[in-house]
Amino acid sequence: MILNLFLPLLLPLTISCLDSTFFVKMFSMLSLA
């Protein structure tokens, strides 16, 4: 029950963290290329 309340709050945070790390990896690969 509590997890259902926290899941919508944690989902955008995890997605934003994944997007930021993915962006950093892509940027580093492009700069090295």
Does the predicted TM-score (pTM) go above 0.75?
no
For 9-29, give one letter per residue: b (16+ CB within 10 A) or e. eeeeeeeeeeeeeeeeeeeee
Q: What is the pLDDT of residue 1?
A: 58
User: What is the reported pLDDT for 14?
Assistant: 85
Q: Which candidate, 14, 4, 3, 7, places its Cα nearest to that of 22?
A: 14
Q: How far apart are CA 11 and CA 3, in angstroms?
A: 11
Indicate the residue type of 22.
F
Report pLDDT digits (tens) over 1-33: 577 778 788 888 888 878 888 888 988 988 887
